[in-house]
Structure formats: C-alpha cells, structure tokens
Amino acid sequence: MRLFENELVVALNKPAGVSMATSSREERSGARAVERLLAACDEEADPRGELRLVHRLDVGTSGVVLLARGDDAHRALSRAFQSGSARKTYRALAWGHPVPARGACDAPLERDPADGRKMRVARKEGKRAVTRYDTIARLPSVADLRLFPETGRTHQIRVHLAAKGHPIVGDDLYGGATRWHGVRDPARRRALQAARPLLHAERVEIPELSIAADAPLPADYASVLGALRGHG
C-alpha cells in the first residue's frame, strides 16, 4: 500500500513477514529487497531500478518504509536519518505497565556475544541509543505504547523495552513470545498469542524535505487491542 510520494520518495506500508535484510549476495541485495517490498505491497515492479532502500524494518515489524527515487534522493534521505532530522514514531504492545508511564530509555547497546542475532544493553561501552516512550493505554496484562527512537540501532526498541522488563508481545527473540502462558483469562490468553512482535512503524516525518507518511495499525495489532478492551 502506497502511503505518500513526492519527487524524492515513495513511502510504503510494509506488511509484517517481509524481509528487508541485505548482504553482498545477489539474492540478498538491496535491489532484491526493494523487489520483495514492492510485491508485498501490491505495487508495480521498478523496471528502471530507480528505487533505493533508505532504512530497514525488522522482518516482523510492519509500517512505514521510505524508498528513495534515485541516488541524489538517497543521499538526501540518508543524511536526514543519520542526522536525526527524520522523526520516527512507532507503536508497540508491551508486557506489563512501564513506570513512569512516560519516559526514556538511554542505555547504550552492543551485539550479544552469546547470540549473534541479538543485541543487548552494553556492559561497558556501547553505541549510544535513546528511545522515548509514552503510554497510550494500560490494558489487562499489557500496555499500548507510542515510541520515539532518537537513534537507529539494530533492534533498539525491542532491546530497550525488554531491558526495562517490558518485552514486546510476540517477540520470541527478546522474551515476549511466551508470557501469555501466565494470563488467566482464556480470551485474553488467546488474543496475546501473537505470531510476530507487535511493533509497528506508525509515522516517518522529515519536515525539511516535506515528507510525512502515516501507516494505519495492521489488522493483527488492532485485533489484539479490540480483544483486550472487550475483556477489560
């Protein structure tokens, strides 16, 4: 689904389950990632190879992704993300109720030496990472959060929330996928058996480039919200 476009960018609503991972291998190139994303969003292919990845979402994360129209646009957008002038807003359903209800996580992050797939809070020196959060609603067993990452580290939101004791519902990598076992109410327990981390890139805004794109909540996230509100 196309959310926004101008002469610099095309903004798409990425479904959960689409990999944007890239490497030096041809089948995992940036061009192939763009192809997968376009197909998943029911968009036409990019026959001239014009579109470029600017940033990535984890395979299980849904929401706004920006594709640059050519190399000059890619440089301008990349500078915006690197400088922090690209404002990102996420939604997440997290276990428990953070205290305080509004705050920030600023723990530096590093690769987990015991599991190369994961990041962790750095034991000594790590890369600076800052995530502000605001509680939208306290629901049975979980909180609906709006999050504002000020840096763009790998798995940043997922690690910061897990480190605070509030992993994201459905996040098997950071401890949020099995907590539903402790929920007593059968209807809530069924609702919270999420098939993926319930993390959604809700908005990306770059004011100086006149870019603003919003993605509606996906059906699985909205369904869990509805089930919890209906059994509150």
User: Which residues are catalytic, by number?
Assistant: 58
Q: Which residue is it, tokens 């030496």?
A: 113
- Residues 43, 12 contacting (CB under 8 angstroms): yes
Q: Which two tokens stand for residue 134?
A: 């605001």
Which spans in the chain are helix H?
A: 30-40, 71-83, 156-163, 186-191, 219-230
Q: What 3-state class would DSSP assign to 152?
A: coil
Q: Which two tokens stand for residue 179?
A: 């907590």
Q: Which of 102, 184, 181 is nearest to 140 (CA)?
A: 184
CA 193 – CA 21 distance, rounded (Å): 26
CA 60 – CA 199 distance, rounded (Å): 8
Q: What are all long-range contacts of 182-187, with beta carbons under 8 Å and residues at least 24 apart? A: 183/140, 183/141, 185/140, 185/231, 187/227, 187/230, 187/231
